[in-house]
Structure 1
Amino acid sequence: MPDPATYRPATGTIPTAPGVYKFRDPHGRVIYVGKAKSLRSRLNSYFADVASLHPRTRQMVTTAAAVEWTVVGTEVEALQLEYNWIKEFDPRFNVRYRDDKTYPVLAVTLGEEYPRLFVYRGPRRKGVRYFGPYSHAWAIRETLDLLLRVFPARTCSSGVFKRHNQIGRPCLLGYIDKCSAPCVGRVTADEHRRIVEDFCDFLAGRTDKLVRELEIRMQRASDDLDFETAARLRDDLGALRKALEKQAVVLGDGTDADVVDFAADELEMSVQVFHVRGGRVRGQRGWVVELSGDQDTPELVEEFLTQFYGEQAALTDQPGLQADKATVVPREVLVPVLPRNVGEMQNWLSGLRGSAVSLRVPQRGDKKALAETVERNAKEALAQHKLKRAGDLTSRSAALQGIQEALELDEAPLRIECVDISHVQGTDVVASLVVFEDGLPRKSDYRHYAIREAAGDGRSDDVASIAEVTRRRFLRHVRDAATDPADEALDPQTGRPRRFAYPPNLYVVDGGQPQVTAAAAVLDELGVTDVAVVGLAKRLEEVWVPGEDDPVILPRTSEALFLLQRVRDEAHRFAITFHRSKRSRRMTASALDSVKGLGERRRTALVTHFGSVARLKEATVEEITAVPGVGVATARAVLAALGGDVVGSAEETPAAEPGDSVPVRDDDPGSANTGSDAIVESERAGVE
């Protein structure tokens, strides 16, 4: 464990100017980011007597191996740089205000000819208007279902819209009057856009005008003795009022504000935010986070506002979306305690919004009452979290300690990696690598590997595959670490640790003694000596250690065995998922795949043009050749493959299309891929 005295900067070398600082561990990872008005005063406080520090601060400074800083001109610049570094490096000792889900919003694609309403999660996109966030997707769908009666706008995907346009019949929503069916021309594009604009006005809070208009139309229909229309408008009014009831008015002056409050104990803190727009609660969000040190409430408020609004503004930081920043950063932010640098924080928030933002503590009236409601929600969320996590935290600590004792490790395996192989009789061989940190899965570090076919060297496929994955995983670690030892395998471009540049504490392979021996041999070959290797055999759940003739038997009821099983099962699930997707791409070929010279692009063009394979089967040769790139011979081959009637002009001959003799096109997914390209390394989104 590093001693803070070994990396303490020399006396007088730390500047007194404002700035942002980073602590790094022995592997070069950034583990904490902070900012200060005076860097010298703040950093010197970390190198006081270790026994006097807060337990988590003490853990941070004894985990770190180096500290560095960047001087800035103002505290506003320090706020921005601190947010950027926390987002970039994801330091383990910083409080991160994020949970295990993304909050859904209601999206309206105003940039399309026929705008669509749908539930959405993810970054903001140009030409789309968003309402929310909501705590649950079902809340959006319930509200949307009520409002579609009054605003029958399109909710279907582009594929469904195009398909019903081709067949000339609306979907079920069109038949039950919950869609105006623009796909079949019941309304024009302008009429449909007016419906969508009225829908947006309603959600934006301009409800009184719409209610009055419906009441006037209902009265007019009644006066004209059109009682059927009047009854329908009456029901529409009921649906509107029911939707309004779900968004009770909490601030009568139509205020746009975010109300933030906290509830904390010695270890964890709960944060709740109510989003009030037009005086109504439009959304709610909550987090429960571990405290990173001895911060007081003003510091916690500052950290939260920096991260939360920086993240929200980043969602709209694209060309054409700047106007949306005014919707994510409200005119007013109500907090329980003002941060110490309240002036700089208000200036920063105002810069994000593009207009003035007020940051204050509510003192009386409706805003004070709402803040108390938010505080009660925060306390309740923390209590529920404690009940849910108490057993889990204890079991994870016991599991890591049990693994350390059973395997006689120097320290608890805070980072565990596990590899598993999946194949069918030696074909479509893939591997997965999953990562657990502090006993919990870290899915951003998961990796897939495409494996070469067995080399025929006398070992089983699994053993050879385990060796290959181990070599590929740790070869990068060794190569990156050797590039510049002074930088601890840091990328010179970004200053961040290279991908997988630091090793796990424990490397688990799915298998018995042969697999463990193969993995250990690779590590010895690469000179990796600080990684413990074990294998977990499925049959009796034995833990195999390299060089030992007998396995380690963990008690069946031990938390240590349960954690190893979870890691192994997660690796198996991840490998199976990738293997199935790879196999399905190869095996689920349609009848069109057998047509020579018909590649992926022309297959897609045919199905898109006709809407389905069934309609393509009923088409004539002339209709098929109307698709760009499809000639007479190919059209006849398509119909023959589908079992349709080959009907066409007498002048058409198969010889009319050059290229039909080509057996496999370059864009055909069935084409062979041999050589070194058979192994592809990529991010998690692809193949490692």
Structure 2
Amino acid sequence: MADPSTYRPKPGEIPESPGVYRFRDPHGRVIYVGKAINLRSRLSSYFQNITALHPRTQQMVTTASSVEWTVVANEVESLALEYSWIKEYDPRFNVKYRDDKSYPYLAVTMGEEVPRVQVMRGAKRKGTRYFGPYSHAWAIRETVDLLLRVFPIRSCSSGVYKRAAQSGRPCLLGYIDKCAAPCVGRISVEDHRDLADDFCDFMAGNTGSAVSRLEAQMKAAAAELDFERAARLRDDLGALRKVVEKNAVVLPDGTDVDVFAMASDDLEASVQVFHVRGGRVRGQRGWVTERVEDLLPGELVERLLEQVYGDIAASPDADGAERAVPREIIVPTVPDNVAQIEVWLSEIRGAKVRVRAAQRGDKRALAETVESNAKAALALHKTRRAGDLTARSHALADLQEHLGLTESPLRIECYDISHTQGTEQVGSMVVFEDGLPRKSEYRHFVVRGPDGTGARDDTEAMNEVLTRRFRRYLAEPAGSPTQEEVDGGTPRAADGADGAVAGDEAAVDGAARVTPSGPLDLSPGEAGASAPKKRFAYPPNLVVVDGGAPQVAAAQSALDALGIVDVALVGLAKRLEEVWVPGEEFPLVLPRTSDGLFLLQRLRDEAHRFAITHHRKRRAKGMTRSALDSVPGLGPTRQAALLKAFGSVRAIRGASVAEIAQVPGIGPKMAATVAEALAPEADRQADVART
């Protein structure tokens, strides 16, 4: 526990200008980001009598070991820079709103040559129009099924579309008139895009023009005695009206507004928002957060608006920003710096945005409805998490007591090895912070062994994995190279099973180099070049290995060789769930009802799952190698070019050297090499006999 007076800036050193500041812990990790109109006044408040601070603020200033700041021109710049740093560093003491569930969106991929309508979750992509969020994916599919009668745009995957184009036959939706079938030329690409634009306009709230157009066409068909077409148009009109009726009219037509409401207690807060477009509720979304900062309601609202609309600020899609940020935002409490927030939001939208609290009328009634949803969501969240919060606290206290640790193990790393009879050896590292998985910190390691062919057994593999991980811990603070191939593990990129994502990429958020008192520089060259990478070197309080005494001894050997003495180590054996401590002849047996043992089991099982998932992917990749992989000098790019030109390896094998040489990037020499490598064995033997 650090004394804040040891790193307090000298009197007069802090400027009185607007700016953004960061607190760092002894390992250099950013633990808190804040902004201030007057940096000197705000930072001085952290170094007053520590007993007068909020408990969470006390914990933050005693965890930190240094503070730094960046001066900006005005409050709007400080708002943008604060948000970008919070996104980049993910500081543990900042309020972060988490979605209380995963919401699906109706998405139209307008960035593709042939737009496609589909259900999407997760991060939004450039060039795609989103509608929602919806409470359930089936609600989107029901809506799309009705609208495809009137707007038969493509909804198939890229693979289905390509196969239909190659075969000249549309898929089932094309045969039942729920797709215009641009894949086989029934409609031109340009006309299909116009159809997708009409679909988006209808979903955006412009329903009246589509309904009026169909009514006119139906009456015209009836007047011409074309009753079959009139009946079809009548059914289409009914489908449109059914979709419109699903969205309740809550405000006058043409009203675009986001209505936020909040319910909170001393520990947590729940937020709900209704997205109203064209006077109708088009979507609903919710967040929950732990109140890790001592913030007033207005400051909580400010953090909320930063997070909800901040991602849009980084997007170059101006049209998407105008649709996502409405002209009016209703909040439960107006922040003190509402004028600066309105300027920031107006810059994102490209038009005037107003932030206010509803006092009376329809908007006030709707805000009360949203507030009742927020209260219900908070009650449900607390019911679900009450037992879990208690168990986490008990688990960490149990581990500290039974393992004789000097402090609670807030960060625990667990390691496991997976292989198939000694082949495709991989190691996994999973991270729990405050008793919860930190999936962005997960890593996997490909075990190389002393000679590059793999380790002899699990203990040698465990020693290698721990050596590489902690060598990186020692190297990064000293400024050594940060490439994964030097000694570290591979960042976790994506996993469909758990949605984990890596956090090792450099974040380019427009933040320039940081100096204690220098001005903010947002030049394009500096922004991309100086953005620091998230560090792999943050050390754990406790290392857990999957195994007994041999694995623990191998891990301890790795730590001893690197001189690591401030990290506790244990192993968890599967047979009797025994906890092995280095140097002890007998294992430690925790009570079966211990929350600490349960946490260790969760860590071990998660590490095993993560290791086996990566191992299966590597094994599957090895089993599905292409014949083109055996061609010397033929890399992935030229392989893809050959497959695109010929369609299959069989077709390439049947082509002549001259035909292969016509593929872009494939010269006569490489064409001859490809033909020789893919030639049937009988042909090669005949060539040998002739020579």
TM-score normalised by the chain length of structure 2: 0.85
Q: Does 1:584 align with 2:620?
A: yes
Match of 2:422 in 1: 426
Amino acid at match of 1:358: R
Residue 595 to residue 402, structure 1, CA distance change in 2 (3 Å): same
Q: Does 1:303 align with 2:303?
A: yes
Match of 1:96 in 2: 96
Alpha-carbon deviations, 1:663-686, whole Å to 9, x = none?
A: xxxxxxxxxxxxxxxxxxxxxxxx
Residue 464 to residue 249, structure 1, CA distance change in 2 (3 Å): same
Alpha-carbon deviations, 1:40-86, whole Å to 9, x = none?
A: 33223223332332221222122222222233332222212211221
Which range is displaced more, 337-346 or 592-601? 592-601
**In 1: Cα distance, 2:590 partner to 2:22 partner:** 41
Question: Do the aligned residues in 2 keep the contact of 1:426 with 1:454 (CA within 8 Å)?
Answer: no
Amino acid at match of 1:58: Q
Q: Does 1:347 align with 2:365?
A: no
Match of 2:496 in 1: none
Match of 1:677 in 2: none
Question: What is the CA-CA distance between 1:91 and the residue it aligns to?
Answer: 1.0
Matches within 5 A, 1:80-91: 80-91=80-91
Amino acid at match of 2:106: L
Question: What is the CA-CA distance between 1:22 and the residue it aligns to?
Answer: 1.8
**In 2: Cα distance, 1:611 partner to 1:119 partner:** 30
**In 1: Cα distance, 2:351 partner to 2:568 partner:** 56
Alpha-carbon deviations, 1:1-37, whole Å to 9, x = none?
A: 1122333333444333322222222222111111222
Match of 1:572 in 2: 608
Question: What is the CA-CA distance between 1:586 and the residue it aligns to?
Answer: 1.2
Match of 2:438 in 1: 442
Which range is displaced more, 189-198 or 333-342? 189-198
Match of 2:140 in 1: 140
Amino acid at match of 2:415: V
Which range is displaced more, 18-27 or 124-133? 124-133
Match of 2:334 in 1: 338
Match of 1:225 in 2: 225
Question: Do the aligned residues in 2 keep the contact of 1:313 with 1:328 (CA within 8 Å)?
Answer: no
Residue 634 to residue 100, structure 1, CA distance change in 2 (3 Å): farther
Alpha-carbon deviations, 1:547-605, whole Å to 9, x = none?
A: 00000111222211111111111111111111111111112346777889987667655
Question: Do the aligned residues in 2 keep the contact of 1:166 with 1:611 (CA within 8 Å)?
Answer: no
Q: Does 1:17 align with 2:17?
A: yes
**In 2: Cα distance, 1:601 partner to 1:518 partner:** 41
Amino acid at match of 1:368: R
Alpha-carbon deviations, 1:392-448, whole Å to 9, x = none?
A: 111111111111111111111110001111111211111111111011111111111
**In 1: Cα distance, 2:630 partner to 2:70 partner:** 62
Of 387, 390, 394 in structure 2, the residue corresponding to residue 394 of structure 1 is 390
Match of 1:151 in 2: 151
Question: What is the CA-CA distance between 1:246 and the residue it aligns to?
Answer: 2.0
Match of 2:517 in 1: none
**In 2: Cα distance, 1:566 partner to 1:383 partner:** 27
**In 1: Cα distance, 2:676 partner to 2:9 partner:** 79
Amino acid at match of 2:35: K
Match of 1:649 in 2: none
Which range is displaced more, 217-226 or 473-482? 217-226
Alpha-carbon deviations, 1:477-532, whole Å to 9, x = none?
A: 11233459xxxxxx998686862223100011111111111111221221111100
Match of 1:473 in 2: 469
Question: What is the CA-CA distance between 1:307 and the residue it aligns to?
Answer: 2.6
**In 2: Cα distance, 1:584 partner to 1:200 partner:** 40
Amino acid at match of 1:40: R
**In 1: Cα distance, 2:42 partner to 2:674 partner:** 74
Residue 168 to residue 635, structure 1, CA distance change in 2 (3 Å): farther
Q: Does 1:369 align with 2:365?
A: yes
Question: What is the CA-CA distance between 1:156 and the residue it aligns to?
Answer: 1.6
Amino acid at match of 1:535: G
Which range is displaced more, 48-57 or 171-180? 48-57
**In 2: Cα distance, 1:634 partner to 1:460 partner:** 37
**In 2: Cα distance, 1:6 partner to 1:600 partner:** 55
Which range is displaced more, 181-190 or 395-404? 181-190
Alpha-carbon deviations, 1:188-216, whole Å to 9, x = none?
A: 33332332222122112111111111122
Matches within 5 A, 1:4-153: 4-99=4-99, 103-121=103-121, 124-153=124-153
Question: Do the aligned residues in 1 keep the contact of 2:115 with 2:193 (CA within 8 Å)?
Answer: yes
Identity rate, percent = 63
Alpha-carbon deviations, 1:455-487, whole Å to 9, x = none?
A: 699995111111111111111111233459xxx
Amino acid at match of 1:47: F
Q: Secondary structure at the match of 1:8?
A: coil
Alpha-carbon deviations, 1:599-642, whole Å to 9, x = none?
A: 766765565456678xx57997689958836979977986958x
Question: Do the aligned residues in 2 keep the contact of 1:429 with 1:453 (CA within 8 Å)?
Answer: no
**In 2: Cα distance, 1:124 partner to 1:270 partner:** 23
Match of 2:356 in 1: 360
Amino acid at match of 1:346: E
Question: Do the aligned residues in 1 keep the contact of 2:431 with 2:439 (CA within 8 Å)?
Answer: yes
Match of 2:552 in 1: 516
Matches within 5 A, 1:397-412: 397-412=393-408
Amino acid at match of 1:422: S
Residues matched between the structures, number: 637
Question: Do the aligned residues in 2 keep the contact of 1:632 with 1:654 (CA within 8 Å)?
Answer: no
Structure 2 residue runs of 5 or longer lacking an equivalent are: 481-512, 515-528
**In 2: Cα distance, 1:182 partner to 1:497 partner:** 44
Question: Do the aligned residues in 2 keep the contact of 1:108 with 1:115 (CA within 8 Å)?
Answer: yes
**In 1: Cα distance, 2:454 partner to 2:129 partner:** 61
**In 1: Cα distance, 2:137 partner to 2:68 partner:** 44
**In 2: Cα distance, 1:447 partner to 1:570 partner:** 12
Match of 1:650 in 2: none
Question: Do the aligned residues in 1 keep the contact of 2:426 with 2:446 (CA within 8 Å)?
Answer: yes
**In 2: Cα distance, 1:217 partner to 1:457 partner:** 72
Match of 2:535 in 1: 499
**In 1: Cα distance, 2:453 partner to 2:218 partner:** 84
Q: Secondary structure at the match of 1:275?
A: strand
Question: What is the CA-CA distance between 1:99 and the residue it aligns to?
Answer: 2.9
**In 2: Cα distance, 1:274 partner to 1:323 partner:** 21
**In 2: Cα distance, 1:38 partner to 1:597 partner:** 61
Q: Secondary structure at the match of 2:218?
A: helix
Question: What is the CA-CA distance between 1:329 and the residue it aligns to?
Answer: 1.7
Alpha-carbon deviations, 1:115-153, whole Å to 9, x = none?
A: 222233455555433333334433322211221121111
Amino acid at match of 2:14: I
Structure 1 residue runs of 5 or longer lacking an equivalent are: 485-490, 647-652, 662-688
Question: What is the CA-CA distance between 1:89 and the residue it aligns to?
Answer: 1.5
**In 1: Cα distance, 2:631 partner to 2:456 partner:** 38
Amino acid at match of 1:232: R
Query: What is the Cα-based RMSD across aligned positions, in Å?
Result: 3.3
Amino acid at match of 1:369: A
Residue 579 to residue 303, structure 1, CA distance change in 2 (3 Å): same
**In 1: Cα distance, 2:679 partner to 2:464 partner:** 46
Matches within 5 A, 1:312-331: 312-314=312-314, 316=315, 318=316, 321-331=317-327
Match of 1:241 in 2: 241
Of 528, 531, 539 in structure 1, the residue corresponding to residue 567 of structure 2 is 531
Residue 548 to residue 348, structure 1, CA distance change in 2 (3 Å): same
Match of 2:273 in 1: 273
Residue 43 to residue 193, structure 1, CA distance change in 2 (3 Å): closer
Residue 416 to residue 191, structure 1, CA distance change in 2 (3 Å): same
Question: Do the aligned residues in 2 keep the contact of 1:29 with 1:497 (CA within 8 Å)?
Answer: no
Q: Secondary structure at the match of 1:311?
A: helix
Alpha-carbon deviations, 1:372-409, whole Å to 9, x = none?
A: 11111111111110011001111111111111111111
Q: Secondary structure at the match of 1:243?
A: helix
Q: Secondary structure at the match of 1:274?
A: strand
Match of 1:183 in 2: 183
Residue 495 to residue 165, structure 1, CA distance change in 2 (3 Å): closer
Question: Do the aligned residues in 2 keep the contact of 1:544 with 1:551 (CA within 8 Å)?
Answer: yes
Residue 238 to residue 523, structure 1, CA distance change in 2 (3 Å): same
**In 1: Cα distance, 2:533 partner to 2:185 partner:** 57
TM-score normalised by the chain length of structure 1: 0.85
